[in-house]
Amino acid sequence: MNPYFKGKSIKLFLGDSLELLKQISKESVDMIFADPPYNLSNGGFSCHAGKRVSVNKGKWDKSRGVEEDFKFHSKWIKACRRVLKPNGSMWISGTYHSIYSCGFALQKQGWHIINDISWLKPNAAPNLSCRMFTASHETLIWTRKDKKAKHTFNYSEIKNGAFPKDFIKKPNKQMRSVWAIGTPVNGEKKYGKHPTQKPETLLERIIIASSNEGDLILDPFCGSATTGVIALKHNRKFVGLDLEQQYFDDLAIPRIKDLLC
């Protein structure tokens, strides 16, 4: 399998994630962060910078119906299970459009859910219809392959606040499962913004908490490579997969090159 881009401790592969995952060695990955399509590009609208905008992100994000969406999530989750080490763990991000399908697929396949995290967005966009509560969070599922697996959790480092201040306001306190983290800041959008781009602070928290230096981290829906940026910053190795060449060329590779220079 030839990488589309290769650098020190990082490889990016262009193509269908399901096909690429078949070519990754069995039980070779320490941690996975997956931000799969949310299947919410249905002609609706949202608010950005005070203006009404479409929620459509591209063909890759369109729902194909409940059954087909569930089959897709089941397939990529099963493929990730094969490449994850016995004591590895996986994170999945989503909204109500997708996260319940992912959770059900995990349960059917025998995964053990460690936590579900509510990522609260203090700067979330307002609701324009005024007919429902304003959507201001996403859900993260943290899971391991089975209940007996000994997953990595750097408890003492997280509890003692050894990392940036936005992790824990009060040192020596356990971190809870509701995380207030804003959307990506301007410096993270230097080369443009992916429609589902995650903030670096979110990935930093996840990677520091659930992996160790030298670990191999996989993102099967790499996008703008935020996962890869943070993995490299914290001395992890990274493999990213994505179907869209434009995201690699315009966003992911330039961001990675900034770190490698």
DSSP 188: G
- The domain that contains 114 carries what CATH number? 3.40.50.150
Distance CA 78, CA 103 (A): 12
Terminal Cα-to-Cα distance of the chain (whole angstroms): 25
Structure tokens at 101: 């399908």
Per-residue pLDDT tens digits for 91-111: 999 999 899 999 999 999 999
Express each pLDDT in 110-132 by its tens digit: 999 999 999 999 888 787 778 88
For 25-41, the DSSP string reads PTT-EEEEEE-------
Domain range enclosing 48: 5-260
Residue 168's pLDDT is: 46
Name the amino acid, one letter, at 144: R
Task: Say if residues 13 and 241 touch (Cβ distance below 8 Å).
Answer: yes
Go through 219-243 and write b for each residue having 16 or more CB atoms within 10 A of its CB, e for each that does not. bbbbbbbbbbbbbbebebbbbbbbb
For the chain, the residue count is 261
More confident position, 149 or 128 = 149
Number of domains present in the structure of the chain: 1
Which amino acid does the sequence have at 84? L
